[in-house]
Structure 1
Amino acid sequence: MTSIDRATVDLIVPVKPLTKAKSRLRGAADGGVGEPRAHARLAMALLRDTVDAVRAAHAVRRLLVVSSDPVVAAELGVFGIEVTPDGPVPGLNQAYERGAAVLREQDPAAAVGALQADLPALRPEELDEAVGAALALFAAGARRAFVPDAEGTGTTFLLAAPGTALDPRFGPGSAREHERSGAHPLGGSWPGLRRDVDTAADLREATAMGVGKHTSCALALIPGC
């Protein structure tokens, strides 16, 4: 095996302030009412299930959440999850760049990845397989790889080889933008990794796949939560 096969993988997950996150899901947790606390609880639940899957994955050494929301920092901190605040420039790609800078400063030899925060149906083995597929491409000479979302237009996961800039291009049409920038699309099925949740329809699809315990509780799918 080459050194790239054994690359240490660190991931970044950015989180908006809970009051602003997932605006198109407002009302999904309380029958359309859109009560702020219920919505914030759902946004936090999506994050917690994503984080739980990352922490259970064997291929990921370190997880860094980028968020300036004190509730996010406090709740995740209880479980030993590292949170760093956003930098001076707002935005999703800026948050990823901020996280990549922190991780690379501490270990320049790591492979650094960007993962969306709204993957409640993610399975740890899916993430392990995606990381393995990316590392195999890196061993063959590629420097960046990504996983398109379920629709094929967005991106849920981006990984950069050691010594390579992450160069995140998340936003509308990000799959095309990442491929144009030289990142290689990964072709595994990985339904939970591809199903990010922006709308009520996305949430229904993820729920049908089987979401984690936090999202289930937020949606009252588990009695007594």
Structure 2
Amino acid sequence: MSYEVDLVVPVKSLHRAKSRLLGAADRGRRDPGAHAALALALALDTLSAAAAAPGVRRVVAVTSDADVASAVREIGIESIPDIPDRGLNEALRHGARVLREADPLARLGALQADLPALRPSELAAALAASDGGRAHCPDRQGTGTTLLLAGVGGELDPHFGPGSSAAHTATGARPLLGEWPSLRCDVDTEEDLAAATVLGLGRHTAGRFCPSTS
């Protein structure tokens, strides 16, 4: 049986995003404009892939950054303000409330915004494997979470942060451990970005990343 999902994708303000990637976009020149553009590109590729995935009904970005909101709308994705702008989990709870108000029967999900190699088919496969239950996809290292899914009719109850995979498992979110490397490859460091490059970057990120030639 198919259970369509409405996804919340939190996107940080660009001046605060991805500090450990500083320099990756401009090969060490520390250009804030280049770094912000790379951080935005990660989110745009994630959102585009998520919206194209079978099984995803609606995608909403949550951000307090006007530039992010404008860019997100330009690619046809909904954006809502991050209220009260108190961190990742609060942003997800706010987005979940907005989606639930629009449809009290919606199945909710949270997707991290730093999956630049995400393939719609792999996200769709993970959604299908969840079979309508509460579940999550651990990241490449197995400790974090890239995707959290509420059970049908259930609350999102996000616990993102260090050790979030174990925290989500403790809330009853079954780990999804199938063959979907692009869904597990979130990007926090240049090493992560190199791993995503091997999988195949989305077009926005591919135009911003300057891989090392050393």
User: Is contact 1:87-1:98 (8 Å) kept?
Assistant: yes
Asked if 1:47 corresponds to 2:43, the answer is: yes
Structure 1 unaligned regions, length at least 5 = none
- The one of 114, 120, 123 equivalent to 1:118 is 114
Aligned partner (choices 156, 165, 181) of residue 191 of structure 1 = 181
Normalising by structure 1, we get a TM-score of: 0.91
Which residue pairs with 1:150 in the alignment? 140
Identical aligned pairs, as a percentage? Answer: 55
How far apart in 2 are the matches of 1:48 and 1:91?
20
Instruction: Select 1:20's aligned residue among 16, 19, 23.
Output: 16
State whether residues 8 and 109 of structure 1, in contact with CA within 8 Å, keep that contact through their aligned partners in structure 2: no
Aligned to 1:214: 204
In the aligned structure 2, how far is the partner of 1:65 from the partner of 1:160? 18
Question: What's the C-alpha RMSD, in Å, of the aligned pairs?
Answer: 1.2
Q: 1:82 and 2:72 equivalent?
A: no
For the residues of structure 1 that align with 2:31 and 2:181, how far apart are their CA atoms? Answer: 30
- 2:151 is equivalent to residue 161 of structure 1: yes
Q: CA deviation at 1:89?
A: 4.7
SS of the counterpart of 2:56? Answer: coil
Q: Which runs of 5+ in 2 are unaligned?
A: none
Give the match for residue 161 of structure 2: 171
Runs of 4+ displaced beyond 6 Å? none
Secondary structure at the aligned position of 1:61 is classed as: strand
State the secondary structure of the residue aligned to 1:218.
Answer: coil
Question: What TM-score comes out, normalization by structure 2 length?
Answer: 0.95
Whole-angstrom distance in 1 between the partners of 2:166 and 2:210: 37
